[in-house]
Amino acid sequence: MNARRIGPASLTRLLGAWREGRGGPAYRQLADSLRLLILDGRLPLDVVLPGERELAATLEVSRTTVTAALARLRDDGFLDRRQGAGARTRLPKGPGERGMASLMAGSASEGLIDLASAAPPAAEVVHGAYAAALSQLPAHLPNHGYAALGLAELRAAVADRYTRRGLPTTADQIMITNGAQHAFALMLRLTCGPGDRVVIDHPTYPHAIDAIQRASCRPAPVGLPGEDWDVEGVTAALRQSGPRLAYFIADFHNPTGRWMSPQSRFAIAQAAARSRTTVIFDETLIDLWLDAPIQPYAFEEPDEGLVRLGSMGKSFWGGMRLGWIRADVQTIQALAPRRASIDLGTPLLEQLAAVHLIAGEETSLAARRDMLRHRRGVLLDLVRERLPEWKVASPPGGLSLWAELPAPVSTSLAATSERFGVRLAAGPRFGVDGAFERFIRLPYTLPPETLAEAVDGLAEAYARLRPSQAPARASLGAMV
Amino acid sequence: MNARRIGPASLTRLLGAWREGRGGPAYRQLADSLRLLILDGRLPLDVVLPGERELAATLEVSRTTVTAALARLRDDGFLDRRQGAGARTRLPKGPGERGMASLMAGSASEGLIDLASAAPPAAEVVHGAYAAALSQLPAHLPNHGYAALGLAELRAAVADRYTRRGLPTTADQIMITNGAQHAFALMLRLTCGPGDRVVIDHPTYPHAIDAIQRASCRPAPVGLPGEDWDVEGVTAALRQSGPRLAYFIADFHNPTGRWMSPQSRFAIAQAAARSRTTVIFDETLIDLWLDAPIQPYAFEEPDEGLVRLGSMGKSFWGGMRLGWIRADVQTIQALAPRRASIDLGTPLLEQLAAVHLIAGEETSLAARRDMLRHRRGVLLDLVRERLPEWKVASPPGGLSLWAELPAPVSTSLAATSERFGVRLAAGPRFGVDGAFERFIRLPYTLPPETLAEAVDGLAEAYARLRPSQAPARASLGAMV
């Protein structure tokens, strides 16, 4: 099925300084490094590796080393067993989700503390909302239950929510989706064709990068220096690369937690209008301000070409898989037939439950912010105490710290920390081309006692990396 | 956003004999024909029409006629209002889903009897299954609720179901999806790139055609003459067009209701193995045998390269939006990261409810088959009595009759029948390139008294078409 190939030069570049930072025989170091790249998602699945002879020549090791490394990976289930045609990357059998892009992995089943996903538990009100929804369900059971744009009541409730928050909206400007990622995939299908460019924050949400690349589009990353957005950088990217789409997490950016100022929003919206680029603001984290309340719609902006994605996932619960798109009526209508080529609608009961959750959100969101504010403080204190070399700042909202490490060891840290009971998503997962080896995302979504345990594990793992840190710094520097 | 153009020649071909079969001034006939093409999905949305001058020349009418026709469509909301750049197709504002591919439209809101969708109401057991699921939900609320491959319990339950039915299956061969259409979209993303061919039945499920085309792939249709499948035709298509994928609704085909014989399955699976084509059997309707019980897995076939899609939609309720993929373990593992680029999982409560529904399916499916068997008989009797010129046969299962009309008037009938209170999906929705104007799908999913009302409306609509039928037959003949 669709086997792509990776050339020896590209693979060597991905491997970086694979012989640094670990002990043991060369074949094992090579196998471990390749395993990490596969688990990490940087070496995609179903990719055919170069032949052994070629690989040995490019990596400047013996052919025996390569053969032994690949045999080990085969034994562990990371390469398929066919000989001759070139080894192909895969994931081992067994607990299904294991390793898949690490962010999607379940934690409980493997006894690791999951710092790879930044997703809080369900709000207390979720069960009650489902119970209320269940009592309304009988009225819908005689019908077939499909609605491409969503249940009328929920579309109205989401529209009213925008209106209440200062952005007048009608129900026909809303499409209900299976979460914000699904909403983004639909927008990609609507606006982009193969080869089109999509401007993104850099770093940004890993699954957004996946969605762009799997839609055969090209991410055009713009860095995030300083505290706000780099308006000049964004404007230049919009002007120069002629993107169809630009995707920003303006309200408590994932992973950095920053918030886009009204002036930046205005300037970016104007620049996008000039280049006829559709701007997407992913508002998945907008409810999670932890310092001053924000007023995201308290400025004039051109509404045309601006699309907002919302989600119940972080404000209430990810297990609901419910989100929405807010756009102009034409866009919403154009989305409906596109959606039918991906799926036929959002489950009805979830939509009824969402109406109840939105109606009672004021109290429940306040409680959720209190909880997260407390956990943010706990994690900041823990990191500053146990890992004083790491630079962390208190984000104004969102779900995670974006810690800066003194050396580009994020991937090694993620690998080592699993041995100390902690699963991490390494910095490069949040970027393209191997960037962010000097950063690690640390979510504060878990309970305080679990966070304490996790930081213990991190500190131990980090201590293991240290001896080899000084030499590694120079050789890995080029990857940052 | 991605405006495609349609040339005057293609549009003229699509319009066919637009001046036949209706009265009134030419501009209104032209406007009505274009409106139908848009509502019908044969003229896609966001397509830019040729200029007025060009159109007038090709259609051999006055420019005034074209101008008036386009103005009328603009007023009705089927073309956008921008001048100069060429009129672009769209759908009118108002009740959101209105007209979108007609199959997705809700019926109740507009007072039409919905014969466009073949989807039964919820099984009686659905509410109880949700209640049971709700009592289990608290155990899952402390977790983040995402699982790319689905809840372990449900994967095991679906696997056991296959095993019980004669096809030994393990849980790691199952991925839970948001319905069978979502499952098909995932398989397309896994196996196909732009331009790849996908062999389909012809006619087939309209959303399958949509999914193939929107994934930039090309359907390779194989007709369904006789009673079983055309094994020679399928084999030739597999050999000649080098398709990545072949999609069959072997178990109570939509729309014809036929069932693929074990010999045909075996021959097709073997031919597909020779051409290295992945075969998908969409088993959405497999539970709905209405005559003799079937034994779908009672034959030897090469399991490699065979993928089965299942769904709760027709067996229990479409409003659940839950389905699955059964494939080899490698395929399931390769699907997980692809899925993350479209959505992050299926809602958790639906999965818990599905476990309960599968556990008690024996009784509830028997009741559902009894209900559908009765309604099939009612509809057959009604059509034979009120529309004796239409050819209908009793399908061995599924949800619909595929009626053959004495003339190629399916699209006109669908348009006219709305005035008599019935929404239909015209025959060409089930094919490519305007085929099946001589057929209409008639689902027997609605209650008997509603079916009687619907057939009344159909008979009246059909009577209106009759006077112009004889002349139309010759000129429209080329479209069949």
- What digits encode the pLDDT tens for the residues B297-327? 866 666 777 999 999 999 999 999 999 999 9
**CA B177 centroid distance within chain:** 18
Answer yes or no: are the C-beta atoms of B328 and B304 closer than 8 Å. yes
Binning pLDDT at 50, 70 and 90, where does residue B177 land?
Answer: very high
Edge-to-edge strands, sheet with A306-311 = A174-177, A323-326, A306-311, A278-282, A245-248, A197-202, A218-223
The answer to whether the CB of B343 falls within 8 A of the CB of B318 is: no
Mapping DSSP onto H, E and C, the string for B211-226 reads: HHHHCCCEEEEEECCC
What per-residue confidence (pLDDT) applies to A261? 92
Inter-chain CB proximity A127 and B141 less than 8 Å: yes
Q: Nearest chain A Cα to B192, which residue?
A: A2
Torsion, Cα of B209, B110, B408, B200 (10° steps)? 10
Q: Where are the alpha helices (DSSP H) in A361-432?
A: 361-386, 410-419
Alpha helices per DSSP H over A242-360: 262-274, 329-339, 348-359
Three-point CA angle B318, B322, B324, nearest 5°: 130
Name residues whose C-beta falls within 8 Å of residue B236's C-beta, 6 or more positions apart in sequence: none
- Out of A90, A191, A210, name the one closest to residue B330 (CB): A90
Predicted confidence (pLDDT) at residue B135 exceeds the cutoff of 90: yes
Residue B345 near chain A (CB below 8 Å): yes
Q: Does A100 touch chain B (CB under 8 A)?
A: yes
Confirm or reject contact between B371 and chain A (CB < 8 A): no
- With b for 16 or more beta-carbon neighbours within 10 A and e for fewer, the A179-208 pattern comes to bbbbbbbbbbbbbbeeebbbbbbbbbbbbb
Q: Which chain B residues are within 8 Å of A179, Cβ to Cβ?
A: 343-344
Q: Residue B82's pLDDT band (boundaries 50, 70, 90)?
A: low
Asked if the Cβ–Cβ distance from A143 to B319 is below 8 Å, we say yes
In this prediction, residue B14 carries a pLDDT of 79
Strand partners, A221: A200
Q: Do domains A108-123+363-479 and A126-359 have the same CATH topology?
A: no
- pLDDT score at B93: 55
Task: Name every residue whose Cβ is closer than 8 Å to that of residue A362 and which is 6 or more positions away in sequence.
Answer: none
**Does A187 lie at the interface with B, CB-CB under 8 angstroms?**
no
- Residues 270-299 on B with a CB inside 8 Å of A are 278
For residue B464, pLDDT beyond 80: yes
Q: Tell me which architecture the domain covering B4-75 has in CATH.
A: Orthogonal Bundle (1.10)
Q: Do A144 and B318 touch (CB under 8 A)?
A: yes
Sign of the CA dihedral with B242 first, then B247, B249, and B250 last: positive
Q: Which residue has the higher pLDDT, B38 or B193?
A: B193
Calculate how close chain A gets to B62, using CA atoms only, in Å: 31
- Residue ranges of alpha helices (H) inside A397-439 are 410-419
Q: What is the CA radius of gyration of chain A?
A: 23
pLDDT score at A475: 35
Q: Which of B117, B138, B148 sits opposite A144 (nearest CB)?
A: B117
Which of B214, B317, B340 lies at the smallest CB-CB distance from A104? B340
Task: Specify the higher pLDDT residue, B42 or B457.
Answer: B457
Q: Is the pLDDT of residue B84 over 60?
A: no
Residue B475 clears pLDDT 60, i.e. is over it: no
- The reply to whether A435 touches chain B by the CB within 8 Å rule is no
Return per-residue pLDDT of chain A as tens, 480 residues: 445 788 888 888 778 777 754 567 888 888 888 887 776 566 766 778 888 888 888 888 889 888 888 888 888 778 886 655 678 887 665 332 323 333 443 334 468 999 999 999 999 999 999 999 999 999 999 988 888 899 999 999 999 999 999 899 999 999 999 999 999 999 999 999 888 999 999 999 999 999 999 888 999 999 998 889 999 999 999 999 889 999 999 999 999 999 999 999 999 999 999 999 999 999 999 999 999 998 878 666 667 779 999 999 999 999 999 999 999 999 999 999 889 999 999 999 999 999 999 999 999 999 999 999 999 999 999 999 999 999 999 999 999 999 999 999 999 999 999 999 999 999 999 999 888 999 999 999 999 999 999 999 999 999 998 754 443 333 333 332
The whole-angstrom separation of Cα A377 and Cα A370 is 11
- B104 interfacial to chain A (CB closer than 8 Å): yes
pLDDT computed for residue B40 by the predictor: 59
Going from N- to C-terminal start, the domains of chain A cover 4-76, 108-123+363-479, 126-359
User: What's the token pair of residue B368?
Assistant: 């559902």
Nearest to A281 by CA among A294, A292, A293: A294
Residue A480 vs residue B166, higher pLDDT: B166
Q: A304 touching B, CB under 8 A?
A: no
pLDDT tens for B148-158 read 899 999 999 99
Confidence of residue B472 (pLDDT cuts 50, 70, 90): very low
- Asked if the model's pLDDT at residue B459 lies above 50, the reply is yes
Q: Which fold has domain A4-76?
A: Arc Repressor Mutant, subunit A (1.10.10)
What do you get for the CA distance between the two ends of chain B, in Å?
Answer: 33
Average pLDDT over residues B123-141: 95
Supply the pLDDT for residue A3.
57
Q: Is A134 on the interface with B (CB under 8 A)?
A: yes
Is B179 an 8 Å CB contact of chain A? yes
Cis before B255 (ω within 30): yes
Cβ distance of B101 and A331 shorter than 8 Å = no
CATH class of B126-359: alpha beta
Q: How many Cβ pairs closer than 8 A exist between chain A and B? A: 286
pLDDT at residue B99 greater than cutoff 70? no
Beta bridge partners of B311: B323
A356 touches B: beta carbon within 8 Å: no
pLDDT of res. B301: 62
Level-2 CATH architecture, domain B108-122+368-479: Alpha-Beta Complex (3.90)
The per-residue pLDDT for A470 is 41
Interchain contact, A146 vs B117, CB within 8 Å: yes
Calpha distance A367→B11 (Å, rounded): 58
Find out whether A348 and B313 touch, Cβ atoms under 8 Å. no
Q: Does A101 touch chain B (CB under 8 A)?
A: yes
Torsion angle of C-alpha atoms B321, B325, B329, B334, degrees rounded to 10: -70
Report chain B residues whose CB lies below 8 A from the CB of A322.
347
ipTM > 0.95 for the complex: no
Min Cα–Cα distance to chain B from A336, Å: 7
Q: Report percent pLDDT > 90 for chain B.
A: 65
Q: Provide mean pLDDT across the span B178-187.
A: 97
pLDDT of residue B1: 40
Whether residue B249 contacts residue B255, with contact meaning beta carbons closer than 8 Å, is answered with: no
Q: Find which of A136, A158, A198, A341 to mutate to test the B interface (most B CBs within 10 Å of its CB).
A: A341
Tokens of A187: 């927008």
In sequence order, the β-bridge partners of residue A480 are: none
What pLDDT is attached to residue B60? Answer: 87
Cβ of B336 within 8 Å of Cβ of A149? The answer is no
> Which of B96, B103, B337 faces A100 most closely, judged by CB atoms?
B337
A310: which 2 tokens? 């919302």
Contact B318 A145 (CB under 8 A): yes
Q: Among B294, B288, B247, which Cα is nearest to B120's?
A: B288
B181 against A40, higher pLDDT: B181
Which of residues 235 through 254 in chain B touch A, CB cutoff 8 A? Answer: 244
Reported as a single tens digit per residue, the pLDDT across B347-378 is 999 999 999 999 999 999 999 999 999 999 99
Contacts of B122 in chain A (CB under 8 A): 140-142, 145
The rounded mean pLDDT for chain B is 87
Structure tokens at A345: 């609608």
pLDDT at B450 over 50: yes
Would the pLDDT of B220 be above 60?
Answer: yes
State the pLDDT at residue A300.
Answer: 61
Inter-residue contact A117 to B146 (CB < 8 Å): yes
pLDDT of residue B357: 98
CB of A259 within 8 Å of a chain B CB? The answer is no
Yes or no, beta carbons of A127 and B138 under 8 Å apart: yes
Distance from the Cα of A356 to chain B's closest Cα (Å) equals 16
Q: Which DSSP string corresponds to B216-268? A: T-EEEEEE--SSS--HHHHHHHHHHH--SEEEE--BS-TTT--B--HHHHHHH
Query: What's the gap in Å between the CA of B207 and the closest CA on chain A?
Result: 6
- B2-46 pLDDT, tens digit per residue, is 457 888 888 887 787 777 545 678 888 888 888 877 765 667 667
- Using the Cβ of B366 and the Cβ atoms of chain A, whether some distance falls under 8 Å is answered with no
- Overall fold of domain A108-123+363-479: Aspartate Aminotransferase, domain 1 (3.90.1150)
Q: Which of B131, B334, B349 sits opposite A45 (nearest CB)?
A: B334
Q: Which residues in chain A touch residue B346, judged by CB atoms under 8 angstroms apart? A: 321
Residue with tokens 């034409």: A330
Contact B56, A298 (CB under 8 A): no
Q: Which residue of A has its CA nearest to B2?
A: A191
CA distance A349 to A465: 49
CA distances A51 to A34, A69, A73, B337, Å, are: 15, 13, 15, 25
Q: Does B389 touch chain A (CB under 8 A)?
A: no
* Alpha carbon distance A166, A297 (integer Å): 6
* CB atoms near residue A127 (< 10 Å): 18
Q: Do B91 and A138 touch (CB under 8 A)?
A: no
Residues of B in contact with A171 (CB under 8 A): 96
Whether A309 contacts chain B with CB within 8 A: no
The mean per-residue pLDDT over the stretch B421-450 comes to: 94
Distance CA B38, CA B90 (A): 8
